[in-house]
């Protein structure tokens, strides 16, 4: 079972190593001289037999690759007749794939051989991300051996370009015996290998020819002007050869041009998506519906256990057995507390459930294949302990979930405190400081404030009492109705089920009744489904699967979702929010093309807010701090963040640290923002290698920054500038045509104005430090102004009643601006970002957390809308 991350690689895939060479000679690749392969003799290598073929790894031994029956030899110096009779039975793979071509069509044999090559190429990949069903094998004529038309390489399958290659030892038995082939049969085998490689977008390089022996066979002569009634048998002799060939991705084809010429590169630059026609459609882009969900809730409410049961199809033992696979860190396993965001993928199609309980599902790629044209549900499991507040909010904001599922435990914490799996009280979590704190209420109130559709799952029904269930449902219904939403309690079928291969039809009908009402109403925020579950007994798990399969998807996001283009002319045509970065090469293909390059690129993960990104697209990345300011060479990760001071709910000296932070923070307005050009070299959508990422999809993108050259005073040559470090919160974007025509750059905000409906926001103190969460940005900010807005004569336009800002450090006075609000009354807050500039979208939802002693749960914040951006 894969770990809970959207980005999983084998960081040390198996290396391609020739069995002809000793480990210390691994750098010696062939017996070539200036590119010409020189025939070698067995005596040159000092071996009479190779090591047996490895069961796994990128090395394959083949007796031959003929698409016809091999000729019969009367004598071979390399093997005895007894050995020759045993070779076909040495392994079933040889019997079916190598020596039974006489009973198979050429097409079927080529399919088998190509699938086998694909598997060997995957062995040297960082991630095995391909499936044999994606192969498009060229159709071979049945009446000819001419394969020259099928030797033109296709474009490498997405993901296979990262393979480091595979070695083929042709003329070698599985046990390493050097059997050999005659020159004509070897030429045919190499031609077949080239056809196989071309199908996968690869090329073949011959590394060594070795003469291993001699053979003899009888050849029938034709009867021409002869009185003989029987054709004569003529004895033929020839040398036996063994060939070592290296199959590697053909990187010259990655841009769709066979020779990688400048003409090809120009064509791709003009139309980066034109090359997709040569790729299997299901790998060009994922067309399966994708739903993004975040599980949230207080600590020990059963989030990880619920996700473990949903993704593995197994019930829990009451002590968290099903959640172990989701934990990334040892301390998580030891404590049972999630401290990081973990993800899993579940597939649905025609009521069938595709998770790790299926025998054929071993990875997310298998789930993609099984659920194609159905639905993929990407579920993020976040932390619940206030100590990991950033992780909680990252799950709610960083991944921009389309639905939030709030998990609340139904057990009576007083009566079940000694039982396995019992929930923790606020005192257990926060100690003495937790007296009077209701963590479940804090999570619920935050979820109801956000503009994200909400569903609620009541967990631990096996530990619930009638009183505890009545209490929690009463609180839920009261709070949900108080904000104008409609709760919908979905009662699962009676009895427990411990195997889920399909969504129960009875549960699906109940869920469909609610989702149909949602679709008819058109407002996904109006209804709040509530499900009662137990991961131990299995009650409600089928209903939860039905809910995940049926929840309505929001419309495809566009650049105009928040505000019109007239109000936000700097909107790019495509925008990708970066939530995380990885220290991995952006593409092994680029490394193979340019082994001496300094910049290996960067892999970033996040979601595509709107637009479309494809491999080969030129993009801009930022905002970075300018290299001309005092922070040259430093990123915000190198500096102390003021967000780390005064905002901890557990630090005893938070007030004192806040004073220190105020004196040492640097306003983002003093730092110039820069944008750097880059090129996309690889894309994965939920681990599936694709050429294009669509709006609303989650993925990982490999990029290489295009850094300019600078001339060193100590050198006469230009040297490339060091690539700056990319951090969370940045964005990838493609400027719009309007921006390109006018020379306009993307904004890099140093300040924001936010409007709030909650009148309690006016309690924010001037000059105080706050943390803001917007998109994938988590930044520290200083409150620069608070304005109470009142409705005047029916107009929504009002002048702020500014209170003197005693912490204003500007040397000049600025006139108080006026604002237009979507609602009558409310509060507007002006924020100054600290440490770094950020890209913030106009009209986006923002969360402001004051922290300190006023926020014991860590989630008591204010949710508003960005109405003005200061560049």
How far is it, in rounded angstroms, from Cα 814 to Cα 805? 12
**Percentage of the chain modeled with pLDDT above 90:** 36
pLDDT of 333 strictly over 80: no
User: Which of the following CATH numbers is that of domain 289-418+439-550: 3.30.930.10, 3.40.640.10, 3.40.50.300, 3.50.50.60?
Assistant: 3.40.50.300
Written out in words, the top-level CATH class of the domain with range 751-870 is mainly beta
Kindly tell me the burial class for residue 794, based on how many C-beta atoms sit within 10 Å of its own C-beta (0-12, 13-18, 19 or more). Answer: exposed
Provide mean pLDDT across the span 102-114: 76
How far is it, in rounded angstroms, from Cα 868 to Cα 754? 7
Contact call for residues 107 and 140 (beta carbons, < 8 A): yes
pTM of the model: 0.73
Contact call for residues 154 and 117 (beta carbons, < 8 A): no
Q: What is the per-residue pLDDT for 720?
A: 57
How far is it, in rounded angstroms, from Cα 39 to Cα 87? 26
Residue 264's pLDDT band, with cuts at 50, 70 and 90, is: very low
Residue 857's pLDDT band, with cuts at 50, 70 and 90, is: confident
pLDDT of 6 strictly over 70: no
Q: What is the per-residue pLDDT for 551?
A: 96
pLDDT of 619 strictly over 60: yes
Query: What are 151-196's pLDDT values in tens digits?
Result: 777 776 666 767 888 999 999 999 999 999 999 999 999 999 998 8
- Give just the sign of the alpha carbon dihedral 255, 257, 260, 265: negative
Provide mean pLDDT across the span 668-677: 78
- DSSP one-letter string for 500-514: -SB--HHHHHHHHHH
- Backbone phi and psi for residue 197, each to the nearest 5 degrees, phi listed first: -65, -40
Q: What is the per-residue pLDDT for 661?
A: 54
Q: What is the per-residue pLDDT for 708?
A: 66
Provide mean pLDDT across the span 105-131: 79
How far is it, in rounded angstroms, from Cα 542 to Cα 787? 50
pLDDT of 423 strictly over 70: no
Q: What is the per-residue pLDDT for 234?
A: 87
Q: What is the per-residue pLDDT for 739?
A: 82
Q: Which residue has the higher pLDDT, 729 or 709?
A: 729
Contact call for residues 264 and 351 (beta carbons, < 8 A): no
Q: What is the per-residue pLDDT for 145?
A: 52
Q: What is the per-residue pLDDT for 564?
A: 62
Name the average pLDDT for the chain. 76
Is residue 627 left, alpha or beta, with left meaning phi > 0 and alpha meaning psi from -120 to 50?
alpha
Q: What is the per-residue pLDDT for 654?
A: 45
Rg of the chain over CA atoms, in angstroms?
33
Residue 810's pLDDT band, with cuts at 50, 70 and 90, is: very low
Q: What is the per-residue pLDDT for 160?
A: 74
Q: What is the per-residue pLDDT for 503?
A: 93
User: Would you say the CATH fold of 580-742 matches that of 289-418+439-550?
Assistant: no
Domain positions in the chain: 23-267, 289-418+439-550, 580-742, 751-870
Q: Considering only CA atoms, which of 550, 480, 555 is closest in space to residue 515?
A: 550
Q: What is the per-residue pLDDT for 70?
A: 86
Count of CB atoms within 10 A of residue 44's CB? 14
Residue 850's pLDDT band, with cuts at 50, 70 and 90, is: confident
State which fold the 580-742 domain adopts.
Elongation Factor Tu (Ef-tu); domain 3 (2.40.30)
């Amino acid at each position: 079972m894969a770990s809970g991350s959207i980005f999983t690689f084998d960081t040390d895939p198996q290396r391609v190593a020739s069995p002809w060479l000793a480990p210390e000679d691994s750098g010696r690749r062939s017996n070539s001289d200036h590119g010409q392969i020189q025939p070698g003799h067995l005596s040159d290598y000092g071996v009479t037999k190779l090591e047996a073929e490895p069961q796994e790894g990128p090395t394959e031994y083949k007796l031959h690759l003929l698409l016809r029956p091999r000729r019969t030899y009367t004598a071979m110096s390399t093997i005895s007749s007894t050995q020759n009779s045993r070779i076909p039975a040495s392994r079933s793979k040889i019997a079916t794939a190598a020596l039974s071509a006489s009973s198979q069509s050429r097409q079927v044999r080529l399919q088998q051989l190509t699938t086998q090559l694909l598997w060997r190429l995957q062995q040297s990949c960082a991630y095995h991300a391909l499936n044999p069903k994606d192969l498009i094998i060229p159709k071979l004529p049945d009446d000819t051996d001419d394969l020259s038309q099928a030797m033109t390489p296709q474009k490498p399958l997405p993901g296979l370009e990262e393979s480091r290659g595979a070695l083929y030892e042709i003329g070698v038995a599985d046990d390493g015996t050097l059997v050999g082939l005659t020159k004509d049969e070897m030429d045919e085998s190499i031609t077949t290998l080239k056809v196989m490689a071309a199908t996968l977008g690869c090329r073949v390089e011959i590394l060594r020819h070795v003469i291993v022996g001699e053979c003899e066979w009888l050849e029938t002569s034709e009867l021409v002007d002869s009185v003989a009634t029987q054709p004569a048998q003529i004895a033929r002799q020839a040398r036996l050869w063994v060939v070592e060939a290296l199959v590697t991705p053909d990187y010259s084809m990655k841009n769709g041009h066979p020779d990688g010429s400048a003409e090809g590169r120009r064509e791709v630059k003009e139309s980066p998506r034109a090359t997709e026609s040569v790729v299997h459609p299901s790998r060009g882009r994922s067309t399966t519906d994708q739903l993004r969900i975040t599980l949230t809730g207080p600590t020990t409410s059963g989030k990880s256990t619920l996700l473990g049961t949903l993704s593995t199809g197994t019930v829990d033992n009451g002590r968290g057995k099903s959640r172990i696979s989701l934990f990334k860190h040892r301390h998580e396993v030891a404590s049972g507390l999630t401290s990081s965001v973990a993800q899993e993928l579940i597939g649905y199609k025609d009521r069938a459930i595709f998770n790790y309980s299926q025998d054929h599902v071993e990875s997310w790629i298998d789930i993609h294949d099984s659920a194609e044209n159905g639905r993929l549900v990407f579920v993020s499991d976040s932390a619940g302990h206030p100590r990991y507040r950033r992780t909680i909010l990252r799950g709610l904001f960083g991944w921009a979930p389309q639905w939030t599922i709030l998990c609340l435990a139904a057990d009576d914490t007083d009566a079940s405190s000694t039982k396995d799996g019992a929930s923790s009280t606020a005192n257990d979590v926060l100690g003495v400081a937790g007296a009077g704190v209701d963590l479940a209420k804090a999570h619920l109130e935050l979820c109801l404030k956000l503009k994200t559709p909400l569903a609620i799952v009541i967990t631990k029904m096996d530990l619930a009492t009638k009183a505890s269930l009545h209490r929690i449902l009463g609180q839920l219904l009261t709070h949900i109705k108080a904000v104008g939403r409609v709760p919908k309690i979905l009662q699962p079928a009676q009895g427990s089920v411990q195997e889920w291969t399909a969504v129960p039809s009875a549960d699906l009908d109940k869920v469909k009744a609610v989702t149909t009402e949602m679709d008819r109403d058109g407002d996904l925020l109006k209804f709040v489904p509530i499900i009662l579950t137990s991961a131990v007994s299995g009650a409600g798990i089928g209903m939860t699967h039905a809910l995940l399969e049926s929840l309505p998807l929001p419309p495809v996001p566009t650049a105009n979702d928040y505000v019109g283009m007239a109000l936000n002319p700097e909107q790019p045509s495509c925008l990708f929010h970066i939530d995380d970065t990885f220290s991995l090469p952006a593409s092994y293909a680029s490394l193979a093309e340019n082994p001496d390059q300094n910049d290996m690129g960067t892999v970033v993960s996040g979601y595509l807010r709107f637009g479309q990104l494809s491999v080969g697209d030129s993009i801009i990345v930022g905002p970075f701090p300018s290299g001309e300011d005092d922070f040259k060479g430093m990123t915000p990760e190198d500096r102390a963040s003021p967000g780390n001071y005064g905002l901890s709910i557990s630090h005893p000296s938070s007030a004192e640290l806040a004073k220190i932070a105020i004196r040492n923070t640097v306003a983002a307005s003093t730092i110039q923002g820069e944008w750097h050009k880059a090129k996309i070299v690889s894309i994965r959508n939920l681990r599936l290698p694709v050429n294009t990422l669509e709006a609303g999809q989650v993925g990982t993108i490999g990029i290489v920054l295009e850094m300019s050259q600078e001339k060193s005073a100590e050198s006469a040559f230009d040297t490339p500038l060091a690539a700056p470090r990319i951090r969370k919160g940045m964005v990838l974007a493609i400027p719009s045509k309007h921006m390109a025509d006018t020379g306009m750059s993307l904004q890099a905000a140093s300040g924001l104005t936010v409007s709030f409906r909650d009148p309690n926001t006016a309690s924010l103190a001037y000059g105080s430090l706050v943390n803001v969460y917007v998109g994938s940005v988590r930044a520290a900010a200083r409150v620069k102004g608070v304005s109470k807005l009142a409705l005047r004569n029916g107009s929504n336009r009002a002048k702020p009643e500014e209170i003197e800002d005693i912490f204003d450090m500007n040397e000049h006075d600025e006139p108080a601006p006026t604002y237009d609000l979507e609602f009558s009354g409310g509060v507007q807050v002006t924020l100054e970002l600290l440490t770094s500039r950020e890209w913030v979208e106009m009209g986006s939802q923002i969360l402001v957390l004051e922290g300190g002693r006023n926020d014991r749960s860590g989630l008591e914040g204010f949710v508003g809308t960005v109405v003005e951006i200061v560049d």
